[in-house]
Structure 1
Amino acid sequence: MSEDFVKVAELKDIGPSSMKAVEIGGEKVCIINTEGNYYAIGNVCTHVGGPLNEGTLEGFEVECPWHGSKFDVRTGEPTKPPARQAVSSYEVKIQDNDILVRKHI
């Protein structure tokens, strides 16, 4: 396992079309399983700080439960206001049955 990556979950922990909140080095991260792939983005909405993992996942978009901002899980970019700033996007890789996310330095 590369030092740049940290194990955040096992494949069985995040079923299809679901999300899980984790913390990596003090950063709140949302792990997403959608359309057969895993993604990781910041879990705090850039509008007012809502928890994205508690929102709605539709395809490649997650909707914040507080005010309805939407973000593309592939890039972290906002796709619907009121949020205008992207959330962080993290590189994900699968190793055996583990989900690994690259830490920000």
Structure 2
Amino acid sequence: MKEQVVCKTTDIQPGEMMESFFGKQNVLICRTPDGKFYAFMNQCNHQGAPLHKGMICGATTEQSEPGEYHYCHKGEILRCPWHGREFDIKNEGRMLANPDKKLPSFNVRVEDEDVIVYK
């Protein structure tokens, strides 16, 4: 099993992300508000945008009244910087608009203060 320390837990605050490397692969490490870590290929599957230049945000649910929207999943949605495609970090990096498509992901575990990516 290939594994590598990609950062320290203190390098990323909840709701933030950072670029790192797993071997020669450019990866994006995300930390959701609940403190969990996730790792994805740092490249949008649409046209290859560097996802670390995007943002972590939330999403809106269906409106219940005309003009009324509810914001949810704060800090759990990764938005591509080029075309705004959105991916659900906690749901295997699945695209919100098309859940059949998802970002390539990696396994992550935390040992002491090390964030470790492995295959």
Where on the TM-score scale, by shorter chain, does this alignment land: which range?
0.7 to 0.9
Matches within 5 A, 1:73-84: 73-74=89-90, 75-80=92-97
Alignment equivalent of 2:113, drawn from 82, 97, 103:
97
Query: CA–CA distance in 2 between the matches of 1:79 and 1:5?
Result: 29
Alignment equivalent of 2:31, drawn from 26, 29, 33:
33
The aligned length equals 99
Query: CA–CA distance in 1 between the matches of 2:97 and 2:51?
Result: 14
Given that residues 51 and 80 in structure 2 are in contact (C-alpha distance below 8 angstroms), is that contact kept between their aligned partners in structure 1? Answer: yes
C-alpha displacement of 1:80 = 3.1
| Counterpart position of 2:5 | 7
What is the TM-score of this pair, normalised by structure 1? 0.84
What is the TM-score of this pair, normalised by structure 2? 0.75
C-alpha displacement of 1:50 = 0.8
C-alpha displacement of 1:7 = 0.1
Segments of 5+ residues of structure 1 without an aligned counterpart are: none
Segments of 5+ residues of structure 2 without an aligned counterpart are: 58-74
Q: Write the letter of the residue equivalent to 1:64.
A: C
Alignment equivalent of 1:18, drawn from 11, 16, 19:
16
After the TM superposition, list the runs of 4 or more consecutive aligned residues in structure 1 that deviate by more than 2 angstroms.
none
| Counterpart position of 1:44 | 43
> Larger radius of gyration, structure 1 or 2?
2
Query: CA–CA distance in 2 between the matches of 1:13 and 1:57?
Result: 16
Query: CA–CA distance in 2 between the matches of 1:66 and 1:17?
Result: 20
RMSD: 1.6
Query: CA–CA distance in 1 between the matches of 2:9 and 2:31?
Result: 9
| Counterpart position of 2:65 | none
